[in-house]
Amino acid sequence: MLKINAWKSWKEKEKEKVFSFAEEYRNFISENKTERKFVDASVELAKKAGFKNISTMKKIEAGDRIFKVNKNKQVIFGKIGRIPIEEETRFIVAHIDAPRLDLKPNPVYEDEGMVFLKTRYYGGIKKYHWLTIPLALYGTAVIKTGEKKIIEIGDKPDDPVFTITDLLPHLSKDQFKKTIEEGFPGESLNVVAATIPLDDDKDPVKKNLFSILKDRYGISEEDLISSEFEVVPAGQARDLGFDRSLILGYGQDDRVCSYTCFRALIDTKENERSMFCVLVDQEEIGSYGSTSAQSAFFQFFIEELLQKTGSKKSLRDVYENSRAISADVSSLFDPGFKEAYDPRNAARIHHGVCVERTTGGRGKAGSTEPTAEYIAWIRKIFDENKIHWQSSELGKIEQGGGGTVATFFARLNIPTIDCGTGVISMHAPFEVTSKADIYSTYLAYKTFYTAK
Ligand code: MN
Ligand code: MN
């Protein structure tokens, strides 16, 4: 374990690589703020690199580059090696959803000449973070014919944005007395959407808004029931700090790991064994749905592979002889909140990718706990390849905790370890990461794909 700040060990040439990789990452997360957009953009990049949809392939053999998409929101990419997949395979799994506000099925209401959109928050957020910041809206509405209407407003330079208002401090005597939990109920996260009325008696602003939506996008109020609208922070991810050492951006949990493991797969030369990048949705809400890590999609994908590679072996063989990384973020020690961390087991900024043995909370509740043997192998391959990495835990035992998709791969009997980038202000509208840690994560994933 290189227990040093990565900037101290890298020469100029390496630093240039760190900055240029970070720029590509920054652009990617600025342009792809939803799981649908992440899937579309990554598939497009993969196709350029020669990846083919396995649904269109009758046979799969060594050297093939493949992918399979599930319902536009989950995707698996793979490079097929010479060794049969049932003998040795590597998986890196990351999630591409992020905390946000979703519009409710009946979101639109008018009050005092203003129209608002009611939201339901998705994932664990501090609700007050979402007040008074510019917000963008990404939506896919599907009308009854099955036709999709795509709406994206708030991230192009000339676009309008949206916001959730807050009470002025001058009148906040009562609000100041409330706890944070009491002060910001979920039902108060209502987005300002329009204020110009039609010449009509009842709900004139709402009527005007729907005439705009009908004209521009062809959607009615009822169409919103069959839609997915995500409210996310507006604006690009940015370099942070005079030295540009950090990135401030939305959705870095877990696009920092999903982007780096996707790029690691794309950039790694074919080797003996097969390697896969598995990108899942719905992690932030417990991984219950058909596009989540618990979906049978993964199993069906492996079955399809076995069939198309002509193998007579079973899923059991593949799982038993595979190794996995659950690529998800960890929490970086934040000097502003020292009391929440165990300093001896906290991840430090610029000290490389985090290897988290224990997730969960309190008495390891919900933790996946890989074996000492598996961790020893991870240590070996990272050290042999001079990866900046650190052993870390989220924070103090009784302060909380968190789980990852590691659970759903470990339960298939695949050795699985949590390994990802450290984040400050995790789950805030704009999260902070270190470019040194992002690059270390990318190198760690490449090492995992290729090391013996
Ligand atoms: Mn995560
Ligand atoms: Mn998360």
Flag whether 39 is in a domain.
Answer: yes
- Percent of the chain at pLDDT > 70 equals 100
**If you average pLDDT over residues 387-402, what whole number do you get?**
93
Give the pLDDT score at 360. 87
pLDDT tier at 1 (50, 70, 90 boundaries)? low
- Percent of the chain at pLDDT > 90 equals 96
106 & 85 share domain: no
254 Cα to the center of ligand 1, angstroms: 5
14 Cα to the center of ligand 2, angstroms: 30
Flag whether 239 is in a domain.
Answer: no
294 Cα to the center of ligand 1, angstroms: 15
Flag whether 14 is in a domain.
Answer: yes
409 & 270 share domain: yes
Count of the separate structural domains present in the chain: 2
Residue 349, pLDDT above cutoff 90: yes
425 Cα to the center of ligand 2, angstroms: 11
253 Cα to the center of ligand 2, angstroms: 5
282 & 192 share domain: no
CA distance 119 to 114: 16
- Contact status, residue 46 vs residue 279, Cβ threshold 8 Å: no
187 & 320 share domain: no
CATH number of the domain to which 158 belongs: 2.30.250.10
Final residue in a domain of this structure, among 233, 263, 289: 233
261 & 280 share domain: yes
Ligand lying closest to the C-alpha of residue 329: 1
318 & 257 share domain: yes
22 Cα to the center of ligand 2, angstroms: 21
284 Cα to the center of ligand 2, angstroms: 5
CA distance 150 to 433: 31
Distances in Å between the Cα of 174 and the Cα atoms of 166, 178, 180 are 13, 7, 12
170 Cα to the center of ligand 1, angstroms: 38
Ligand lying closest to the C-alpha of residue 95: 1
57 & 118 share domain: no
Backbone phi and psi for residue 355, each to the nearest 5 degrees, phi listed first: -110, 115
430 Cα to the center of ligand 1, angstroms: 14
74 & 167 share domain: no
Residue 388, pLDDT above cutoff 90: yes
Cα-Cα-Cα-Cα dihedral sign, residues 81, 85, 91, 95 = positive
Ligand lying closest to the C-alpha of residue 404: 1
Flag whether 434 is in a domain.
Answer: yes
408 Cα to the center of ligand 2, angstroms: 16
181 & 298 share domain: no
160 Cα to the center of ligand 2, angstroms: 28
327 Cα to the center of ligand 1, angstroms: 8
Give the pLDDT score at 256. 98
- What are the tens digits of pLDDT across the range 207-264? 999 999 999 999 999 999 999 999 999 999 999 999 999 999 999 999 999 999 999 9
CATH number of the domain to which 287 belongs: 3.40.630.10
140 & 168 share domain: yes
pLDDT tier at 89 (50, 70, 90 boundaries)? very high
Q: Which two tokens stand for residue 281?
A: 């949705």
Q: Which two tokens stand for residue 153?
A: 């407003």
Give the pLDDT score at 112. 97
Q: Which two tokens stand for residue 226?
A: 């069959």
| 231 φ/ψ sector (left φ>0, alpha ψ -120 to 50, else beta) | beta
Ligand lying closest to the C-alpha of residue 405: 1
- What are the tens digits of pLDDT across the range 266-317? 999 988 999 999 999 999 999 999 999 999 999 999 999 999 999 999 999 9
Give the pLDDT score at 361. 87
Ligand lying closest to the C-alpha of residue 427: 2
Ligand lying closest to the C-alpha of residue 258: 1
Looking up tokens 């209401």, which residue turns up? 109
- Cis, bond preceding 102 (omega within 30 deg of 0): no
406 Cα to the center of ligand 1, angstroms: 11
Give the pLDDT score at 2. 67
Flag whether 245 is in a domain.
Answer: no
Please give the mean pLDDT across all residues of the chain. 97
Final residue in a domain of this structure, among 186, 204, 233: 233
Flag whether 244 is in a domain.
Answer: no
* Domain carrying residue 384: 6-98+250-450
Flag whether 240 is in a domain.
Answer: no
Looking up tokens 């959803």, which residue turns up? 97
Final residue in a domain of this structure, among 233, 265, 297: 233
136 & 49 share domain: no
Give the pLDDT score at 201. 86
Give the pLDDT score at 270. 84
Flag whether 1 is in a domain.
Answer: no
Ligand lying closest to the C-alpha of residue 99: 2
Backbone phi and psi for residue 331, each to the nearest 5 degrees, phi listed first: -100, 125
Mapping DSSP onto H, E and C, the string for the chain reads CCCCCHHHHCCHHHHHHHHHHHHHHHHHHHHCCCHHHHHHHHHHHHHHCCCEEHHHCCCCCCCCEEEEEECCCEEEEEECCCCCCCCCEEEEEEECCCCEEEEEEEEEEEECCEEEEEEEEECCCCHHHHCCCCEEEEEEEECCCCCEEEEEECCCCCCCCEECCCCCHHHCHHHHHCCHHHHCCHHHCEEEEECCCCCCCCCHHHHHHHHHHHHHHCCCCHHHHHEEEEEEECCCCEEECCCCCEEEECCHHHHHHHHHHHHHHHHCCCCCCEEEEEEECCHHHCCCCCCCCCCCHHHHHHHHHHHHCCCCCCHHHHHHCEEEEECCCEEECCHHHHHHCCHHHCECCCCCEEEECCCEECCCECCCCCCHHHHHHHHHHHHHCCCCEEECCCCCHHHCEECCCHHHHHCCCCCEEEEECEEECCCCCCEEEEHHHHHHHHHHHHHHHHCC
Ligand lying closest to the C-alpha of residue 96: 1
- What are the tens digits of pLDDT across the range 152-211? 999 999 999 999 999 999 999 999 999 999 999 999 999 999 999 999 889 999 999 999
Ligand lying closest to the C-alpha of residue 256: 1
275 & 135 share domain: no
- Contact status, residue 52 vs residue 66, Cβ threshold 8 Å: yes
